[in-house]
Structure 1
Amino acid sequence: MSVDKTAHVEHTDDGLTRHDLDTEDVRGRDFTVEASNLPPGYFRSLTFLGSMFAIGASFAAGVGGFSFAAPILAQINADIGPDANLTWVALSYLLTTSIGMIFVGRVTDIFGRRWFFITGNSIGLLGSIVCATAPNIPALIAGETLIGVGASVQLSYAFAVGEIVPTKWRFLAQAFVYSFQIGTLMVTLGLMLFLMGISWGGVLHPWKSGHVIGTIVSGAILLIGFFFYEAYMPLKEPLMPVRLWRNKGWSVIIILWSLGAAVYYALAILWPSMAAVLYAGTHGTSWIGVFSSISSCGILFGEFCGCPWKRWTHWQIRAVFTIGSIFLACMATCDPDTPVRAAIFVFLAALFIGWNEILCSTVSTICIDDQREIGTATGVGGSSRSFISTICSTVYTVILSNRLAQTIPAQVPPALVAAGLPTSSVADFLTAIAAGTPAAWSAVKGLTPQIQAIGVRAYQQANSDAYKTVFLSTIAFSGIGVILSIFCPNVDHLLSSDVAVTLRERGTERVVGEGKEGAVEEEKAV
């Protein structure tokens, strides 16, 4: 399909050049400013550099609020727990961000960004204080909820940084960031009930119990009701404009972004516990700390790998998503005897999914129909990303819990009894291996070093079998992504030098770097 890039340029009274673009694929860019027409020194000004630094630092804080705690949830539970609702430390963060990012994008498009970003960071700081002083798991969940609310703003970097740089530099700008109503009630309650039902199933309650079925069905009905409400009610400012999803290219990119993020969150939750259980006895606690950080390092490295290549992004997404999915599924071949293979596969899976992350997050800000709705579109996309990630992460953790409930009883007790441990001491052994303290081991009557070694090996193998099932289950989600990647939009022709939003000097109407003579009144400013 040929693309008509014809446009005429209008020179306005403020001295800046604006483009009157007729073609549909560049619709909504008539209010942008060509980079060459910005005042000299604009991109070197303290205002611009300070804004970039603030967005990057804010993003780092939002990510850290989850990623710092996820690898050590088991240790946290042993310290201030135990609590059966431990998984909600992670899920509360994902839940609040999936809901909050809809608000941030839509509301800040209407009322401006500055004070919402200040408020969001303040809430995140409060949540960090609550978590740091939490005496128990419920308090930690409450603090993580506040962190998630703050992260709704902090993770909105894609449009915040994307709109203040030329379109063609959005990939590099996002790489810089990485270095550092009724409808509301329905979506909130619906998502919470749905996730509660999934997380309870087979863990706290049987799948066929009323608790599980009731919450899942109620949540699903509320979520369906929310989408119908947003689609058919005559709302002046809908929370999630349904028209956004009519853009097929944007919809595909958002789903691919979401599925890729689901891999990140799954690895952040599952890999540290897998490494600790399967490899701690061989390599020691300090080495496991290094192992646990492999997935985060891979994601970050992949994001940097993806930022320089601004052309053929649709082919890049197809390739990196597929390769990353293959390496993730290959994790099912790992067992207690293959720590190096597991570490390599985790790093490579994370690397390619990180590459996918930066491409999809940036393309989602470019392929929208109207650049004046960049916040709304990216906010809805970010919310979808968190929503799908929450669903996938919950599915993975539930599969793991259900499989462990089968593999451990089936493999560990028989191995212990066959090795000579009294049947009455099996329960104490399982308690001791979970605690990992000398006191717990000394409480197991009849335990010898040889029996302990046999029991630990059986426990590791039982866990390995459970993790294999989880990694094989990722094929279902990855397969959907691979198919959808065929329909990725090509945005090469949209990578121009236009800047969507220009910063202005505080207290004035002057564009940053401009003298008084050239004062302009911007249609939109941060």
Structure 2
Amino acid sequence: MVDTKYNADAEALSVPPSPARDVNQQAVDLDELPNGYYRSRNFIGSLIATCLMAISLYLGYVLPVNSLAAINADLGPDPSYSMISTVFTLISGVAVLLVGRLGDIFGRRYFLIGGQLLGLIGAIVCATAKNIPTVIGGSALCGLAASVQLTFTFVIAELVPNKLRPMINAGIFVATIPFAGFGGLIAKLFTQNTEKSWRWNYYINMITCGLSIILYVLCYYPPGWEIKHKGQSRLEGLKKFDYIGFVLYAGDWSWCSSVFVTWGGSSYPWSSSHVIAVLVVGFVSLIAFIAYEIAVPLEQPLLPLYLLKNRGYTATVCSALVGNMVYFSMSLLWPEAIAYLFTTDSITAGWLACSTGLGVIVGEIVAGALMKRLGYSKYQLIASTILITTFSGALAAVNQDRQAYGLAFTAIGGFAVGYLELITLIMCPLYCEPEDIGLASGFLGSAKQVAGTIATVIYITILNSRVAAVLPRDVSAAAVKAGLETSSVTYLLEAVSAGTTTALQAVPGMTDSILAAIGNAEKTAYSQSFRTVFLVSIAFGGLAIIAAVVSVPIDDKLNNVVAAKLSGTGASREELPTNEKEKN
């Protein structure tokens, strides 16, 4: 039970007044809903559709990203094959804010139907592709669909009482376990054991997208334009839309980010002036967008000033996105570490790599079950950021002889990431008015995607630079100590660059004992390089902890208020009644 002073402080700080808006749809109390509302066809059908949409999100990214080598081998080789994953994350990261905001304004029904339709088309394009550019194009469509699919965290949450939002989100995450937790392994099993190989990733996505479209069409009738803006035409609403903000946010940032990720590591080194300049332009564009939203008086801004000024919201978003950057150190580098330190067998590697994903899902489910019961949401946020930082940093101790350490640390760290993910998903929308839930959640999702892209670049740059510095030194020293003539060191380094056992065996003076020493030295060099990256992640974790400390609790908002009501579940398309006070 939360004490009175704690509640009073939260009430004073959590939700500042927002500007008056011509929105007629108001939150209702749980007691005002019709009997049987949550047993109705429309609600149950919408819930199943949203679970399928969440599964589609993982099918659209997790499985394909674990099949990139197989796709390139089948349809390539094409040096641009990595764009299959990057276009997905970039497009979804930019567009999710727009989808959330436009859904708040115009209603979500047709956005969800249209998004899943794009996902279906994208999956068909990828499944039938004959070359890499076609798969990239299909992935772009899947990325657009993902910007809609990412809304699964609040599509159903806004239909249930605030106090049940953690539990309902936990239930949706349960539905995603097979593909969120074992997606990498499933992708490898498809590749090795089916005739259609990697194409099965997209076949399953076609099924989930198709079923969810049917259910959304038949069952999902959230508040639409007529309820949200009674007495105002859609044309008037379109005239008020923040088009300049749209261009600044979506256009500049998405272009700069796309060029940055496309150039970096391929056309130009990550440290080159070309890549750095594009990153700087991207940041400047983002700052220009925020400055415009703050300085220009807009009737319907893309990102309202009151939300940017909300300390609790801003701190929680910062904690979530920086924590997400720490998570990327585990999800991105742990599979790489497995390949370099432990095994090259794809199935075994797939099982080992499940530790992070399963940890995340379990953390999300446990947080959903405990968040409301434990109370003190701010301290739960702080604890989760501390755990993330601790166990991400602890991965620096992993080497070729400590596989168990890696499994334990990624599982516990992943659990903390999942816990953080769930409570920030719940906290952020509660800092704003109910009609802005899509905006609050959309900006959170967008910020996390952008932060993840930046983290990927940072980690890859550090890892590559460390390997380039450490690997030649350690391998040369180990080989000479094992008996290789110094005159053969140059040939050895060329063979190490080639990366094949055949090349190493061809080095003059090579023996089995020297080869074994070289193999162990390579693993040591990679473990030292991974150690540097994991230690760097501690700095991000420290920032996440600071942000969590200055956040504002929202426990008093976990009450009986329901943000939106489906039509056709007792009150048809009537305007929702207005609650005069929140009931706890």
Map of 2:359 onto structure 1? 298
Structure 1 stretch 346-355 or stretch 256-265: which is displaced more?
Answer: 256-265
State the alpha-carbon separation in 2 of the partners of residues 471 and 135 from structure 1.
Answer: 39
State the distance in 2 between where 1:469 and 1:75 align: 30
In the superposition, relative to structure 1, how do residues 50 and 455 fare at CA in structure 2: closer, same or farther (>3 Å)? Answer: same
| Structure 1 contact 162–365 (Cα < 8 Å) conserved | no
The equivalent of 2:164 in structure 1 is: 169
TM-superposed deviation, 1:96 = 1.3
- The CA deviation at 1:63 is 2.5
1:331/1:478 CA distance change after superposition, 3 Å: same
User: What residue in structure 1 maps to residue 43 of structure 2?
Assistant: 48
Residue 329 of structure 1 is matched in structure 2 by 393
Q: CA RMSD in A?
A: 3.2
> What is the alpha-carbon distance in structure 1 between the residues aligned to residue 84 and residue 317 of structure 2?
25
Q: Structure 1 residues 4 and 296, CA, compared in 2 at 3 Å: closer, same or farther?
A: closer
Pairing partner for 2:340 from 264, 271, 277: 277
Match among 468, 472, 486 for residue 531 of structure 2: 468
Q: Structure 1 residues 308-317 or 62-71, which shifts more?
A: 62-71
Q: Which moved more, 1:271-280 or 1:235-244?
A: 235-244
Distance 1:172 1:488 in 2: 22
Which secondary structure does the structure 2 equivalent of 1:179 belong to?
Answer: helix
Partner of 2:469: 406
Confirm or deny: 8 A CA contact 1:199 1:398 kept in the other structure.
Answer: no
Q: Deviations over 1:92-115 (max 9, x none)?
A: 222112211111111111111111
- What secondary structure sits across from 1:489 in the alignment? coil
Match of 2:302 in 1: 239
The Cα shift of 1:448 comes to: 5.2
Instruction: State the alpha-carbon separation in 2 of the partners of residues 403 and 332 from structure 1.
Output: 14
Distance in 1 (CA, whole Å) between partners of 2:81 and 2:465 is 16
The separation in 1 between residues aligned to 2:83 and 2:509, in whole angstroms, is 37
Could you tell which deviates more after superposition, 297-306 or 405-414? 405-414
- Offset of 1:346 from its aligned partner? 0.5
Give the CA deviation at 1:133.
4.6
Q: Which residue of 2 aligns with 1:348?
A: 412
Q: Partner residue of 2:256? A: 193
User: One-letter code of the match for 1:362?
Assistant: I
Q: Tell me how far apart the structure 1 counterparts of residues 6 and 401 of structure 2 sit (CA, whole Å).
A: 55
Q: How many residues align?
A: 493
Distance 1:115 1:76, change over 3 A: same
Shift, 1:279, TM fit: 0.5
Q: CA deviation at 1:39?
A: 1.3
* Alpha-carbon distance between aligned partners in 1 of 2:491 and 2:168, rounded to the nearest angstrom: 61
- In structure 2, the CA distance between the partners of 1:430 and 1:456, relative to structure 1 (3 Å rule), is farther
Report the counterpart of residue 104 of structure 2 in structure 1. 109
Is residue 521 of structure 1 aligned with residue 583 of structure 2?
no
Are the aligned partners of 1:191 and 1:223 in contact in 2 as well (CA < 8 Å)?
no
Helix, strand or coil at the partner of 2:159: coil
Alpha-carbon shift at residue 321 of structure 1 (Å): 1.4
* Pair 1:211 & 2:274 matched: yes
Structure 2, unaligned stretches of length 5 or more? 19-23, 176-242, 579-584
Distance 1:72 1:416 in 2: 35
Structure 1 segments unaligned to the other structure (5+ residues): 6-20, 506-511
Amino acid of the residue matched to residue 156 of structure 2?
A: V
Q: Which moved more, 1:191-200 or 1:479-488?
A: 191-200
Counterparts in 2 of 1:470-489, with a 5 A limit?
A: 470-489=533-552
State how far apart, in whole Å, the 1-side matches of 2:72 and 2:322 are.
Answer: 28
**Distance (Å, rounded) in 2 between the aligned partners of 1:83 and 1:33:** 55
Contact 1:297–1:347 under 8 Å retained in 2: yes
2:153 aligned with 1:158: yes
* Contact 1:56-1:179 within 8 A present in 2 as well: no
Higher deviation after alignment, 128-137 or 440-449:
440-449
1-side partners of 2:454 and 2:335: how far apart? 20
Q: CA deviation at 1:79?
A: 5.5
Q: State the distance in 2 between where 1:138 and 1:266 align.
A: 29
Separation in 2 of the partners of 1:424 and 1:92? 39
Instruction: Calculate the TM-score normalised by the size of structure 1.
Output: 0.84
Residue 253 of structure 1 corresponds to 316
Q: Which has the higher contact order (CA 8 A, sep 6+)?
A: 2
- Indicate if the aligned counterparts of 2:463 and 2:530 stay in contact, CA closer than 8 A: yes
Q: How far did residue 489 of structure 1 move? A: 1.7
2:75 equivalent to 1:92: no
Larger mean Cα displacement after TM superposition, 72-81 or 397-406: 72-81
Deviations 1:329-361 (A, max 9, x none): 100011111001111000000001101110111
The equivalent residue for 2:439 is 376
In structure 1, the partner of 2:422 is 358
CA 1:81/1:459 → structure 2, altered by over 3 Å: closer, same or farther? farther
1:183 corresponds to: 245
Give the secondary structure class of the aligned counterpart of 1:168.
Answer: helix
